[in-house]
Amino acid sequence: NPEVREALAEVVRFWMSRGVDGFRLDTANYYAYDRQLRDNPKRPAGSHPLEDGQEANPLSGYITKYSKDRPENIEFIHFLRKIFDEKANFTSIGEIGSSEGLEETLKLGADYVRHGDGLHMAYTFAMLSKEMNAEYFGHVVGFTEQMIEDGWPCWSLSNHDCTRMVTRFNCFAEREGFQQMMLLLLLSLRGTPIIYYGEEVDMEEYPITKEELRDPQGIRFWPDIKGRDGCRLPFPWDSAAPNQGFNTGKKPWLPAKNSLSLDQAQAYPESSYHVIKEMLKIRKANPALQKGKFRQILLEGDCFVFERKTKDQTLLIAANFSTENHSIKLPLKVEKDLTPGALKHSGSIKNERLSLPACGYFLGKV
């Protein structure tokens, strides 16, 4: 409807005039639907949507070809982009949630950002899967780079719609440190990283009870789907304060019950808080981590190695997704170790071999 488009254009221009520098577009591939209102086809037996934990949702039993991912949807995004371009240094980021296979989802996300006439950035749910190993990670990154062409990638490991990363990837016991490795990889990839609040203090998924539910999805489908409240708890600022410092006195909307608070993370030198803080400084100081091209170097067992390269700088990044130590013969000579000093599970170079501990990470200057 052209009148709706113009009304939305007025809203966008209003906020741009008020100094807004960008928009996040929720469910950015859901805006258009089939004009004939045809029913979505049922999903073939044995297939499932990319999003985990939604099997009990009736919508997951259908391929949503008529209710989202419509060709005219991208045309509307192009319409919005022309408005965004009226202001200098403006940006946009879209959530692209697809119910289809992995490669279809990655291609769809790339379609929204290629050629500079769509969104500035878009992230998919590919990294929000329960599955995470070197092969899967490498395929997601490599296929995205192949599909996105001149577009700019965007990466996220958690958000307000999925089980928190620490719990989803089972980052406990022998997998302790896996979440730090993933966060460092997030900050090493080409593109814009999104860090979900609480990841700097290893917030876990809270086992919500039926009485504590707020999310309509959880209320409707309990107990098959427990909703998204478990990943939306108040941020834990202070371990000694009521409600972990989130508010004073009154009970918050959801319980404040995280196992670790910010003050405790700040007091522990090897916490994710300090690892991320140090890595952000490293990222800002090294142009290859900001603008360098991505190239996969090797996938050996459950170890993944890649480089980020500009004209003047080459960096090598390696990660061990397994719970066992590994030693790798590197094809490139590393001149300097840039791995964050706060990282407990860090790799090391000796005799041109890289030793990676379980859930380990390494960053070096070539």
**CATH number reported for the structural domain that contains residue 325 in this entry:** 2.60.40.1180
Catalytic residue among 26, 39, 211, 312: 26
Q: What is the pLDDT of residue 59?
A: 86
Listed residue (204, 186, 193) closest to 319, CA to CA = 186
Task: Note if 26 is an active site residue.
Answer: yes
| Residue 6 forms part of a structural domain | yes
Residues 170, 198: Cα–Cα separation, whole Å: 16
> Are residue 157 and residue 298 in the same domain, yes or no?
no
> Are residue 14 and residue 101 in the same domain, yes or no?
yes
Catalytic residue among 86, 104, 324, 335: 86
Q: Which domain holds residue 342?
A: 293-365
> Are residue 54 and residue 101 in the same domain, yes or no?
yes
| Residue 153 forms part of a structural domain | yes
Coil, strand, or helix at residue 75?
A: helix
In the DSSP assignment, the letter for residue 108 is H
Kindly list the distances between the CA atom of residue 168 and the CA atoms of 94, 119, 137, 154, 233, in Å, as whole numbers in the listed order. 23, 29, 15, 20, 16
Number of folded domains that form the chain: 2
Task: Note if 335 is an active site residue.
Answer: no
Q: How many CB atoms lie within 10 A of CB 229?
A: 22
Residuewise pLDDT in 10s, the chain (366 residues)? 899 999 999 999 999 999 999 999 999 999 999 999 999 999 888 777 766 667 788 888 898 899 998 989 999 999 999 999 999 999 999 999 876 789 999 999 999 999 999 999 999 999 998 889 999 999 999 999 999 999 999 999 999 999 999 999 999 999 999 999 999 999 999 999 999 999 999 999 999 999 999 999 999 999 999 999 999 999 999 999 999 999 997 899 999 999 999 999 999 999 999 999 999 999 999 999 999 999 999 999 999 999 999 999 999 999 999 999 999 999 999 999 999 999 999 999 998 899 999 999 999 999
Q: What is the pLDDT of residue 99?
A: 66
Which amino acid, residue 203? M
Q: What is the pLDDT of residue 352?
A: 87
The tokens describing 129, both together, are 């899967």
Listed residue (120, 180, 185) closest to 153, CA to CA = 120
Q: What is the pLDDT of residue 60?
A: 86
- Rg for the chain, CA atoms, rounded: 22
> Are residue 15 and residue 68 in the same domain, yes or no?
yes
> Are residue 257 and residue 307 in the same domain, yes or no?
no
Coil, strand, or helix at residue 358?
A: coil
Query: Domain containing 190 — which CATH number?
Result: 3.20.20.80
Q: What is the pLDDT of residue 249?
A: 79
Which amino acid, residue 30? Y
Coil, strand, or helix at residue 33?
A: coil
pTM for this entry? 0.95
> Are residue 201 and residue 297 in the same domain, yes or no?
no
Q: What is the pLDDT of residue 284?
A: 98
Contacts 24+ apart (CB under 8 A), 302-311: 302/133, 302/134, 302/135, 302/326, 303/134, 303/328, 303/356, 304/134, 304/137, 304/138, 305/330, 305/354, 306/138, 306/141, 307/332, 307/366, 308/188, 308/190
